[in-house]
Amino acid sequence: MNNILGTKCMDAYIRLCNRGVEQGWHERNGGNLTYRMTEEDVLECKGYFNAVPGEWVKMNVSAENLANEYFIVTGSGKFLSNVSLEPQNAIAIVEINDAGDSYRIVWGLTDGGKPTSEFPTHFMNQSIRKRVTNGENRVIYHAHTPNVIALSSVLPVSSEIFTRMLWKSATECCVVFPGGVGVVPWMIPGGSDIALATCAMMEKYDAAVWTNHGLFVSGPDFDIAFGLMHTIEKAAEVAAIALAARGGKAPLNVISDDSLRQIGEAFGVKLNEDVLNFKSEDCMYC
Ligand code: 2HA
Ligand code: ZN
């Protein structure tokens, strides 16, 4: 290999972008992806870094546990559909400083530009996911998943209600996301409020719905993060079709609480008890 684009991490990053685009989740510049590189990734890529790195850019957020890490990031305003066509202009590798409060570009975005507008949100959430998963989680992925967005506009803003609807609509959902999904109310994209609200969710969930906007997920690798996004979006599609087919009334035949418990036992996963025991008049699936 004589090019950074052939490295394992770059290859996997670009593949995820293509898979998301194939699903129709990345209109225009919608969505973004960050990956915290392993030491091996950095060693593999380092020879291709710019001879002179960019200037340090101070962020309005900081995270000590991300000091000296390297991230592959999407560029602000860049289209995920262009990542595989011209990666060097659509994505970058950034290095974080010793204090964990500034980044500099060491590769990519060759025609100028900066990391995604959601970088502070990704950065803070990367920090939380690194801490709560003991360093296991490395990928944070945001996409404009249409069925999740549609459901978020008809359901109450509630993590428990949203999760119950997904779990009860498709059998393997509760195995793929036994912790459930968090729901963040509508907020301005790219701002510090949405960053903080998402951080609160990422302490306990590995996925957060952004109301009227999309979905934000975290995972240890690209396949697991993409698979989580895909599973949630597909369950939302099933739920939305079923709801529409009944003219907005609750479907007749969804998975019962007992059956959810049985699935948990059969697959050896611990389902979130707060979601399992949730009762509310606003919840069609309780
Ligand atoms: O990067 O999706 O939320 C574009 C977005 C912002
Ligand atoms: Zn978005």
Q: Which atom of ligand 1 is nearest to the CA of 144?
A: 2
In this structure, the strands spanning 57-58 and 70-74 are unpaired
In this structure, the strands spanning 207-210 and 182-184 are parallel
In this prediction the pTM is 0.97
CB of 159 closer than 6 A to ligand 1? no
- DSSP string over 168-200: HHSTTHHHH-TT--EEEPP--TTSHHHHHHHHH
pLDDT for 192: 83
Mutate to test the pocket of ligand 1, among 25, 29, 193 (most ligand atoms within 8 A of CB): 29
Confidence tier at 97 by pLDDT (50, 70, 90): very high
Confidence tier at 2 by pLDDT (50, 70, 90): low
Ligand 1 centroid to Cα of residue 184, in Å, is 15
| The residue to which tokens 């590995």 are assigned | 206
Contact 161, 252 (CB under 8 A): no
In this predicted structure, the answer to whether residue 264 has a pLDDT above a threshold of 60 is yes
In angstroms, rounded to a whole number, what is the distance separating the alpha carbons of residues 26 and 37?
23
pLDDT for 226: 99
Q: Which atom of ligand 1 is nearest to the CA of 29?
A: 4
Mutate to test the pocket of ligand 1, among 118, 122, 198 (most ligand atoms within 8 A of CB): 118
Q: What is the mean pLDDT of residues 88-112?
A: 96
Q: Which atom of ligand 1 is nearest to the CA of 116?
A: 1
pLDDT for 118: 86
Alpha-carbon torsion angle 189, 193, 194, 196, nearest 10: 150
**Non-local CB neighbours of 273 within 8 Å, separated by 6+ positions:** none
Annotated catalytic residues are 118
